[in-house]
Amino acid sequence: MFQTLSDTSEPNHPIATTATSPPPQQAPAAPLVATSFLDYGTRPLRYGQRLFMTYAWLVLKNVIGWLLILFSLPAGALLPGPGGIPMFLIGFAMISFPGKRKLTARVARGKPIPKNSLTYQWGVAITCVVAPMAFLLYVYIQRDDPWVKPLLHLCGADRHGIVYVAAYILLAGALWVLLWPGRTLINWGLQIVARIRRKVRPLLRRYGVDLLPARRRRRRLTADGPFQREPDSEILEIHERHYRTASIAWNRSKPWLRRALGVVITAVIFFWIFKPIHKQWPVVSEQMRDTNPMRFLIASVMFGLFLAFRAISWRRILIGLGHRVPVAPAIRIWSTSELARYLPGAIWQVVGRMYLVRPYGVSGSVSSTSQVLELTVFLLANVIIAAGCFLYFGVKVNEEARPWLYASMALVPTLAALLHPQIFYGIVDRVMARLKRPTLADRLGGWALIRMLGRILVALLWQNAAVFILVQPVLDLKIDHWWTVSAAYCLAWCAGFLAFWAPGGIGVREIVFIGAMSVVLPEQTLASLQGENRVALLGFLAILLRLWTFVGEILLTAIAYLFDYRGALNLPGAKGRVVRDRSLPAGQVDLA
């Protein structure tokens, strides 16, 4: 890695003293070590984290170095003055290979190549052997190209293989003739490089970059301590202020870069979905018009009831953890926090529910644990539905469904093991200990979780019936194929939930739904939809289902606020809220 230019000078060694006068106390000097922007983080890293980050930075800086080297050529043509030389030097300093400093020092100082240099002779010989071989191999691979094929036919290479041998000998000989006397031209170029270095080096040093710094030697860190060899510097030394600035800029921009990346991925996915819809609109518009507004309203009400059941399931978890929140406030808090998942960032749903449920006496640790437990059970239920449906299609009907089957079945044992009380609460206890929070006093047992999983499985069948009511007239499906829609939608929900960069799984859920439906739809339906027509119609259904979920969530939230307006407005007498009685001792509360 790069070295850092230190602002402090090295301390002198203590002088020899007599036996009667003790040596003065002097703090040992800190050794100079190779540093990078990793050393200027906001928190210390563990050994494993530092080892991973070190090797990751090693790979990344080599990639950046080669990119700077490649872009230095066009930059030299655009920038005035030295052009792309500083960019090339920085890129060359970042890449790693043995003997780089020695080679760089030789070139930068303009040291000529000796007349009888064995290294130069071997380099010319290897180039003459390897370069023609690589060129002819490329020509052979591109022999069907419209530009290459006539040339090969003219030379007879397509009829006689001996032509390649003759071409190899001619190219090798031509390279030998050009490179062998080229030592004089290279030495002349080295002299020019030395002149450029004398102009560029002061400019770089002015901006905190030292080109070819002096090597450091072994020295004592204390008067009677052992010798310690300081690490040899690289061909460039970067001042520590640049590392500090880069670290601060990275820490500040990292959240925004993550959000921007999520927005870009979502925009690309929606562009891929909307493009065939726009292109094939005259063909598939008739099927899209089969969408019935009454069916949409019925399906939205059914989905709202399903979400209410999910909110009650979360309330049951809170009761198992020792907090009995009334039904109406629980539904209002759950539905409001679910809408917060559409905001950029993955924490607003968790933080919002913690904030809303706190007036009811629920601590932040209990709230976050209940959310993780509810989402894990719900995710397992979706995976079971998807795996069960794809198991039928993958084994008995369509071989193309088997990859989707394996992907869904792989999560079943993992989630089931995670929900085991000993494993789940063991993880929760460790997290609470790291956060210096008290452990949970009340816990749900294994049978309670199994019963909750069974109820959620039944509720998912209700949700998938609503999905089938919505998409049936567009795809003209029979009632026997409602399993296809169940498998596709449950798998799409799982993918959207696991896509942490997409708020609410926007974009990811839609594209997985399109891919899954393209596999499990009946053969006659797939035969009627070919190419972009299929993508356009399924993309329209995916967007329609996104709108359906949003309408169902808004309906449930509006009804919940209507029944619990006192709790929403923090009015006196709101049911279930924890109020502080000033006549009670500190730390004791009374339930309204």
Q: What is the pTM of this model?
A: 0.60
Q: Give the model's pLDDT for residue 460.
A: 92
pLDDT at res. 336? 92
**Backbone φ, ψ for residue 142 (5° rounding):** -95, 30
Q: Where are the alpha helices (DSSP H) in 393-445?
A: 402-409, 411-418, 421-434
Per-residue HEC secondary structure of 452-478 comes to: HHHHHHHHHHHHHHHHHHHHHHHHCCC
Q: Are 314 and 338 in contact (CB under 8 A)?
A: no
Comparing CA positions, the residue from 382, 373, 369, 368 lying closest to residue 456 is 382
Q: Which residues pair with 359 in a beta bridge?
A: none
CA atoms of 462 and 55, how far apart (whole Å): 50
What residues of the chain score a pLDDT lower than 70? 1-50, 76-83, 157-160, 211-212, 214-237, 280, 283-284, 286-288, 290, 345-346, 392-405, 407-408, 530-532, 579-592
CA atoms in the 13 A half-sphere facing the CB of 280: 22
Per the DSSP assignment, residues forming a β-bridge with 590 are 579
CA nearest neighbour of 311 among 331, 337, 328, 333: 331
